[in-house]
Amino acid sequence: MDSGTPETKPIRVLLVDDDQDFLEVNRVALEKEGFEVRLAHDGDEGKRMALESPVDVVVLDVMMRTRDEGFELARDLRRDKRTCKIPLLMLTSVNAINRSEGLLTFSDRDRDDSWLPVDRFLDKPLRADILVRTIREVLSLNSVA
Q: Where are the chain's structural domains?
A: 12-140
d(CA 87, CA 19) in angstroms, rounded, equals 21
Which stretch of 26-30, 47-51, 79-83, 141-145 has the lowest confidence by average pLDDT?
Answer: 141-145
Closest CA to 69 of 95, 46, 43: 43
CATH no. for 12-140: 3.40.50.2300
Whole-prediction pTM: 0.81
pLDDT range class, residue 123, cuts 50, 70, 90 = confident
Handedness of CA 86, 116, 43, 138 (dihedral sign): negative
Which stretch of 40-49, 57-66, 72-81, 98-107 has the lowest confidence by average pLDDT?
Answer: 98-107
Residues 4-34: tens digit of each pLDDT: 445 688 999 999 999 999 999 999 999 999 9
Residues 64-98: tens digit of each pLDDT: 887 888 889 999 999 999 999 999 999 887 645 54
Q: What is the pLDDT of residue 7?
A: 67
- What order do you get walking across the sheet with 36-40 strand by strand? 36-40, 12-16, 57-61, 88-92, 120-123
Q: Mean pLDDT across the chain, nearest whole number?
A: 83
Torsion, Cα of 69, 70, 75, 78 (10° steps):
140
- Whether 145 has a pLDDT exceeding 60, the answer reads no
pLDDT range class, residue 118, cuts 50, 70, 90 = confident
